[in-house]
Structure 1
């Protein structure tokens, strides 16, 4: 057994580049695992910098210096963010408040509908089943209410932290854009000279991560705005709130669309009942999801690495469990990174075997 392990070790770690790649991967993984919550502002700034680097590059190609390009792009981006916060957040908050106020009447309406099921379908539903369902729903409602209340009280403690983030993140983004090459050069000083595989993986993943972030932002905006316009035309309540939820649901592959279907269907059911308007909403929502999965995603992510749905779901569960929202957001590029690391490692070992 020991002999087999020695053979495997000598075969896999005979190349110094493989050892460098392995040590860097383990070091970064350990840093994110133990200190991930402390470097969230840096991760947020990095995502925004990836998003804004493309317009900065376009401006530089016209002859504008990097400092001026970064400043102009940051000013435009800040103006757009402020406009969104001032124009959209109050609307979402108002609709959310109305939804919370209407929730008790919705629950009563749903309770009344359930109570009619035993008389309408006596062969399928009995009163005991309805009572069991109602008690379970009421118990979950109380638990959710307590969770929301505790979360709200705890979030008050983080107000100062959020204010600090609002100052630090824009500064980090600006300096990442302005001093991109200096920062990369400084990072390279800490990497050993045997970094052929690291460079190979970096070149493969850099463009993919940029395309993924830019594509996800565009997908959220397109899906969310299309859903909002469609629900407004169909006169569905809370159109802005539901459109926002549907837009952000694309962050969680496969699972997000299924989860957001529940509030969309419930609001349509309580507003219209089981009538033609209800089915119009469901059909329109299904068409939006179908167009997103079969047309928009292939267009936006044509350069992304193909991954089997099983790998994507496993990546969402694993990285989401480690780092929450950002783990879910980066699940696909992280899964692609793991595959790129394994491919680079395997190719290196194959070359060493051929040389031997």
Structure 2
């Protein structure tokens, strides 16, 4: 048992090391594998309708590529224009936000600590907001350069669809081969664990993807109708980050409130500021009570804290590749841990089977020493 554990941990360590070293090369392959995994149920349904596996695969991928191109043609120019406007307007917005904060907090602090405290606050706020703006610009620049380095045009248009085509076409054969490698006496357990992992991953990814799409559209349309500057961009960012629980809503809320204060505070337009806040309150209510319970449900088995840690940790280590792998790995670890706890609760170690001495009180006692 100890030897098997050492071998298994060694193989896992080698795989993690290779994944880290080849993370930039493996992205299109992992993306293609993920795409095939998500589209396999649709291919199975088309097969049941009478199409062959090859025809179903070609039809699905052709529809996916056409839909993706249409979305990119519509979304990318709009997002690029808003990002350029945001970058150009950021210094002015930072200065206005600094003035608003100092103006509102200054009188109170002046009564408490005098003019020196107000000057210190102004200097600190200016430094903090300025550093935040610099960090945001650097973050946008890193996203652009990183996406150029990691996701090349060849990867998007050639490698990923080709990998997805072959994997989707041979998916059932690959699963059957992996199942045949498992010793017969362990196959029921392996199939059970694989089914639970598949249910957790598909339940979260498909459901949460729809949640991101719905909320992103809602926030973008709502902020656009309110008249918020960069509302469509903030809405799309919020929807995209909703994949990480609570992060999308909080990020969008802080961005939108900051822009709303700069835009409408000087004129005393509290109505539009309240409408901006109301968009996120309604969106959060719909997400927590209607959208997520219907689309994701409670059977995913991934705790939000564990999921946030996995996404942030894998994203930090492996970049965009880590984001693709975070949910499957987190779901797999969760299923294995629950299985191990279940076996432990059924074991003799937990039940205490064996030669245990029972005293008069009915509690286990230690044998007396000579």
- TM-score per shorter chain, which class? 0.7 to 0.9
CA displacement at 1:83 relative to structure 2: 0.5
Closer, same or farther in 2 for the Cα pair 1:204/1:158, shift >3 Å? closer
CA displacement at 1:184 relative to structure 2: 2.5
Does structure 1 residue 184 correspond to structure 2 residue 170? Answer: no
| Counterpart position of 2:76 | 89
* Range moving further from structure 2, 143-152 or 261-270: 143-152
| Counterpart position of 1:266 | 258
CA displacement at 1:155 relative to structure 2: 5.8
Mapped to 1, the partners of 2:321 and 2:142 lie a distance apart of 23
How many matched pairs? 342
Q: Cα RMSD over matched residues? A: 3.4
CA displacement at 1:58 relative to structure 2: 2.1
Instruction: Give the structure, 1 or 2, with the largest relative contact order (CA under 8 Å, sep 6 or more).
Output: 1
CA displacement at 1:162 relative to structure 2: 3.7
* Range moving further from structure 2, 29-38 or 331-340: 29-38
2:282 to 265, 287, 290: 287
Closer, same or farther in 2 for the Cα pair 1:61/1:113, shift >3 Å? same
CA displacement at 1:51 relative to structure 2: 2.4
| Counterpart position of 1:4 | none
The answer to whether the 8 A contact 1:316-1:331 is kept is: yes
The answer to whether the 8 A contact 1:252-1:316 is kept is: yes
Deviations 1:303-339 (A, max 9, x none): 6333444434443444344334454465454333212
| Counterpart position of 2:226 | 234
Closer, same or farther in 2 for the Cα pair 1:290/1:87, shift >3 Å? same
CA displacement at 1:288 relative to structure 2: 0.1
2:331 to 322, 331, 336: 336
Closer, same or farther in 2 for the Cα pair 1:329/1:257, shift >3 Å? farther
| Counterpart position of 2:360 | none
Deviations 1:144-201 (A, max 9, x none): 5456556656765567x34234210011111122121223344456555564343321
| Counterpart position of 2:361 | none
2:238 to 226, 246, 265: 246
Does structure 1 residue 301 correspond to structure 2 residue 296? Answer: yes
Does structure 1 residue 209 correspond to structure 2 residue 204? Answer: no
Closer, same or farther in 2 for the Cα pair 1:329/1:263, shift >3 Å? farther
| Counterpart position of 2:166 | 175
* Range moving further from structure 2, 260-269 or 338-347: 338-347
Larger radius of gyration: 2
**Which consecutive residues of structure 1, in runs of 5 or more, have no partner in the other structure?**
1-8
The answer to whether the 8 A contact 1:99-1:238 is kept is: yes
TM-score of the two chains, using structure 1 as the length reference = 0.81
Does structure 1 residue 110 correspond to structure 2 residue 105? Answer: no
Mapped to 2, the partners of 1:189 and 1:128 lie a distance apart of 70
CA displacement at 1:127 relative to structure 2: 2.5
Closer, same or farther in 2 for the Cα pair 1:208/1:111, shift >3 Å? closer
Mapped to 1, the partners of 2:276 and 2:70 lie a distance apart of 30
TM-score of the two chains, using structure 2 as the length reference = 0.78
Closer, same or farther in 2 for the Cα pair 1:73/1:20, shift >3 Å? farther
**Which consecutive residues of structure 2, in runs of 5 or more, have no partner in the other structure?**
355-370
The answer to whether the 8 A contact 1:208-1:303 is kept is: no
Q: Secondary structure in 1 aligned to 2:51?
A: coil
